[in-house]
A and B are shown apart, each in its own frame.
Chain A
Amino acid sequence: MARMTMIEAIRSALDVSMGRDDDVVVFGEDVGYFGGVFRCTQGLQQKYGKTRCFDVPINESGIVGTAIGMAAYGLKPCVEIQFADYMYPAYDQITQEAARLRYRSNGDFTCPITIRMPTGGGIFGGQTHSQSPEALFTHVCGLQVVVPSNPYDAKGLLISSIENPDPVIFLEPKRLYNGPFDGHHDRPVTSWGSHPLGEVPVEHYTVPLGKAVVRRPGSAVTVLAYGTMVHVAEATAEETGIDAEVIDLRTLLPLDLETIVASVKKTGRCMVVHEATMTSGFGAELVALVQEHCFYHLEAPVIRVAGWDTPYPHAQEWDYFPGPARVGQALRDMMEA
């Protein structure tokens, strides 16, 4: 075991995967010599050579398109899009090609690629360094969508993703790269140094895809969250004294419906929180599933706390980000309902 930040855990996952399997290749913009703008690939080129970890031209469609070709050949590329906000030029390759290769060729060709993308806000990233586009991937059949919330999961989920025989969108909340963040932007930044999930095995291990985990057991209300919002939800439960059960979904597609339904049937209430904009966000899918599967157990309407339906602003960062104040108010309102 070692203390790791999420960055170090991701780097360790890549290191372990590249060490175990010669077919794993890592590339993206500034990923090679420099080691990535967030340092997630630091030292990999030096250790594994330029043909296993390399820099690419600035072309997201080229990154994903070549990765698909490599996967068709038999490699297992793990590529990086520098910011999730810049995945759009690759959207055609991701949705129409990577996601459908197995289906349309009846397994003649498959696409075991992992696409890493730093995601989410809370860092004064403005409109194109803060987006949470997960709903644009969960709507695509053939993809798997993963969002870790801590270093331990980040490494285990990333290794699982790389070893997965199908394409995985791996969204890394960059606000959590160096430490947990509960939304209290006015307090000093904390590090992973003292967090239990900052303790990470140095060797190979996996966290299974498609499995959620209960982060905080509770009886009053179920809060469905992922990424940064897991920490916001946990902190809010403590601060409000409302005994919320916080579920970290970890994988959005395929979704661990069983864990969700068991919890909501127990608590009778459910709240969904995500950074992404509200309308047609992933929360809408969660709400629909909960009402379908837990209708007779619900004591209150299922509600969502999410980013506003606006582009992610700069100066109004903390008015936009669904922090503890908004989540707390929503929890109190819900308990009174």
Chain B
Amino acid sequence: MKDGMRPSLPGKLSLHVPEPEVRPGGRPDFSNVAIPKAGSVRRPEVDVDPETIRDLAFSIIRVLNREGEAVGPWAGTLTNEELMEGLRHMMLLRAFDARMLMAQRQGKTSFYMQHLGEEAVSCAFRKALQPGDMNFPTYRQAGLLIAGGYPMVQMMNQIYSNDADPLKGRQLPIMYSARDHGFFTVSGNLATQYVQAVGWAMASAIKNDTRIAAGWIGDGSTAESDFHAALVFASTYRAPVILNVVNNQWAISTFQGIARGGSGTFAARGLGFGLPSLRVDGNDYLAVHAVAKWAAERARRNIGPTLIEYVTYRVGAHSTSDDPSAYRPKEESEAWPLGDPVIRLKNHLVRIGAWSEERHSQMEAEIRDTVVAAQKEAERHGTLHSGGRPSMRDMFEGVYAEMPPHLKRQRQQAGV
């Protein structure tokens, strides 16, 4: 029986608790995920009346077809060189993830979260922004930093909490902060940054600036109250913000249906707020970029906010503290109908004659060397349990602009 259609006995109520289609041991089944043909979804003007594109919240904008061709009205926002750069960013992020995952297993850091399968979302989005724009990311958008040219060794220093950690060892690994790279400080508290992004965008509008903001949230966190707060404020003040929902199907062990309920899609949540709401193939680098560019232009032209749902799949474990085989089939990611973002972009570039297997292998090797070199450099500054580390004095600094007397007393008690 289909989810949501379970009848109850006449006269008695029963509680509906959604379940994923398949659990461990079962055969992965995505037959209920409707995948429109690439190129089949129209591309409206950026100043379109949101009421006239409500259908876009229930479809999926896709550019790359099965044959690796870029088709339809959303194609053509990137040159071949830009696409090759995008491929490199995604491969860098994947290689970085792999090294840091291993570093965690080796005890060099306490914690890590990878992006496996979601590389296109943050990497392609970043290329649709301009210098000065500000992202309010979650813990799973490091592609914004990689594609923005942030030094990888700095990311590793943060992960290792070593003596070169830009955050002085105060933050859990991967909770980066990089103002100059348009990357707001990551918080452990889910969804808080979503409404802050709206505030940042409102500030930019108050000051008649030209910069825009982007908020990020996962499918599970859309259930948090701040998701609602962000949509209300964005809608009311027409803030120049792009509200991104990365639907990777899973919130730790909880399938997306628990957060989504009966709404059909996460994009559909935006419709009630009058926001133009688009759904896009999150594993299609070209589609992600095209949609992000559309929304950025809308925001920059002061037309208003846009909500975008990226349909993707969390291939890896939630974090290094998680074992997905306890709640979903091991082979599920292979059955995911939107495939792998790296392979799809690679196939496209090969298809158009801009790339080859040989060049791809070369780049893989070059990227591996780059990441290993960065790791060596970072480890010269120490890892969590060995080598250089932030000072104990750093622990007391930065709570306030000026240290109040009680903290000075405590620092003295601590003997530093």
Taking Cβ atoms with an 8 Å cutoff, the residues of A that contact B are 25, 51-52, 56-57, 59, 61-62, 65-70, 72-75, 89, 92-93, 96-97, 100-110, 141-142, 144, 165-166, 210, 253-255, 257-258
- Tell me the complex Cα distance, A103–B398, Å: 5
B206: interface (CB < 8 Å): yes
| Complex interface: chain A residues within 8 A of B400 (CB) | 102, 142, 144, 166
B179 touches A57 (CB 8 A): no
Find A65's partner among B170, B205, B229 (CB 8 Å cutoff): B229
- Tell me the complex Cα distance, A106–B394, Å: 9
B185 touches A73 (CB 8 A): no
B192: interface (CB < 8 Å): yes
Stretch at the interface among B194-202, B293-301, B347-355: B194-202
User: Which of chain A's residues has its CB closest to B178's CB?
Assistant: A108
- Tell me the complex Cα distance, A142–B199, Å: 21
Least CB distance, A9 to chain B, in whole angstroms: 26
User: Which of chain B's residues has its CB closest to A251's CB?
Assistant: B404
A69 touches B198 (CB 8 A): yes
- Tell me the complex Cα distance, A69–B199, Å: 4
Most buried by A among B179, B201, B203, B205: B203
Find B198's partner among A66, A74, A93, A101 (CB 8 Å cutoff): A66
- Tell me the complex Cα distance, A59–B198, Å: 14
B391: interface (CB < 8 Å): no
B199 touches A68 (CB 8 A): yes
Contact with A along B165-202 (1 / 0, CB 8 A): 01110110001011100001101110010011111111
A62 touches B196 (CB 8 A): no
A104 touches B185 (CB 8 A): yes
B6: interface (CB < 8 Å): no
Interface residues of B in 207-240 (CB under 8 A from A): 207, 213, 225-226, 228-230, 232-233, 236
Q: A108-B185, A109-B177, A254-B405 are in contact. Are A66 and B199 (CB under 8 A)?
A: yes
A102 touches B399 (CB 8 A): yes
B200 touches A101 (CB 8 A): no
Find B175's partner among A66, A89, A93, A104 (CB 8 Å cutoff): A104
Task: Give me 8 A-to-B residue pairs in the complex whose CB atoms sit less than 8 angstroms apart, sorted by A's number.
Answer: A61-B225, A66-B195, A69-B198, A72-B184, A73-B134, A96-B188, A105-B185, A107-B398
- Tell me the complex Cα distance, A292–B91, Å: 59
| Complex interface: chain A residues within 8 A of B2 (CB) | none
B206 touches A141 (CB 8 A): no
Q: A62-B232, A97-B187 are in contact. Are A104 and B196 (CB under 8 A)?
A: no
Most buried by A among B170, B195, B207: B195
A69 touches B203 (CB 8 A): yes
| Complex interface: chain A residues within 8 A of B179 (CB) | 105, 108-109
User: Which of chain A's residues has its CB closest to B195's CB?
Assistant: A65
B200 touches A61 (CB 8 A): no
| Complex interface: chain A residues within 8 A of B205 (CB) | 51
- Please give me the 10 A-B residue pairs with the lowest Cβ-Cβ distance, nearest first: A69-B199, A66-B199, A65-B195, A254-B404, A62-B229, A69-B196, A73-B203, A105-B185, A69-B200, A105-B177
- Tell me the complex Cα distance, A159–B168, Å: 32
- Tell me the complex Cα distance, A134–B273, Å: 35
| Complex interface: chain B residues within 8 A of A166 (CB) | 400-401
| Complex interface: chain A residues within 8 A of B255 (CB) | none
| Complex interface: chain B residues within 8 A of A255 (CB) | 406
| Complex interface: chain A residues within 8 A of B203 (CB) | 25, 69-70, 73-75
Find A104's partner among B171, B213, B229, B232 (CB 8 Å cutoff): B171
- Tell me the complex Cα distance, A109–B401, Å: 11
B192 touches A65 (CB 8 A): yes
| Complex interface: chain A residues within 8 A of B198 (CB) | 65-66, 69
| Complex interface: chain A residues within 8 A of B166 (CB) | 106, 108
| Complex interface: chain B residues within 8 A of A57 (CB) | 232-233, 236
Find A59's partner among B197, B202, B229 (CB 8 Å cutoff): B229
B406 touches A254 (CB 8 A): yes
Contact with A along B131-162 (1 / 0, CB 8 A): 00010100000000000000000000000000
B59: interface (CB < 8 Å): no
- Tell me the complex Cα distance, A5–B3, Å: 62
B302: interface (CB < 8 Å): no
A103 touches B170 (CB 8 A): yes
User: Which of chain B's residues has its CB closest to A144's CB?
Assistant: B400
Q: A25-B206, A109-B185, A142-B399 are in contact. Are A65 and B175 (CB under 8 A)?
A: no
B370: interface (CB < 8 Å): no
Q: A57-B236, A75-B203, A110-B401 are in contact. Are A96 and B189 (CB under 8 A)?
A: yes
| Complex interface: chain B residues within 8 A of A254 (CB) | 404-406
Knowing that A59-B228, A254-B405 touch, tell me 7 more A-B residue pairs with CB under 8 angstroms: A69-B197, A73-B204, A74-B203, A100-B187, A103-B399, A109-B179, A257-B406
| Complex interface: chain B residues within 8 A of A75 (CB) | 203, 206-207
Contact with A along B232-276 (1 / 0, CB 8 A): 110010000000000000000000000000000000000000000
Find A62's partner among B195, B200, B213 (CB 8 Å cutoff): B195
- Tell me the complex Cα distance, A61–B233, Å: 11
Least CB distance, B397 to chain A, in whole angstroms: 8
Least CB distance, A14 to chain B, in whole angstroms: 16
Least CB distance, B292 to chain A, in whole angstroms: 20
| Complex interface: chain A residues within 8 A of B399 (CB) | 102-103, 141-142
B177 touches A108 (CB 8 A): yes
| Complex interface: chain B residues within 8 A of A61 (CB) | 195, 225-226, 229
- Tell me the complex Cα distance, A205–B111, Å: 49
Contact with A along B374-410 (1 / 0, CB 8 A): 0000000000000000000000001111001110000
| Complex interface: chain A residues within 8 A of B398 (CB) | 102-103, 106-107
- Tell me the complex Cα distance, A101–B225, Å: 20
- Tell me the complex Cα distance, A96–B190, Å: 11
| Complex interface: chain B residues within 8 A of A92 (CB) | 189, 192, 226
User: Which of chain A's residues has its CB closest to B404's CB?
Assistant: A254
- Tell me the complex Cα distance, A62–B405, Å: 33
Find A70's partner among B184, B187, B199, B406 (CB 8 Å cutoff): B199
- Tell me the complex Cα distance, A108–B179, Å: 6
User: Which of chain A's residues has its CB closest to B390's CB?
Assistant: A106
A59 touches B233 (CB 8 A): yes
| Complex interface: chain A residues within 8 A of B199 (CB) | 65-70, 72-73
User: Which of chain A's residues has its CB closest to B206's CB?
Assistant: A51
User: Which of chain B's residues has its CB closest to A51's CB?
Assistant: B206
B232 touches A165 (CB 8 A): no
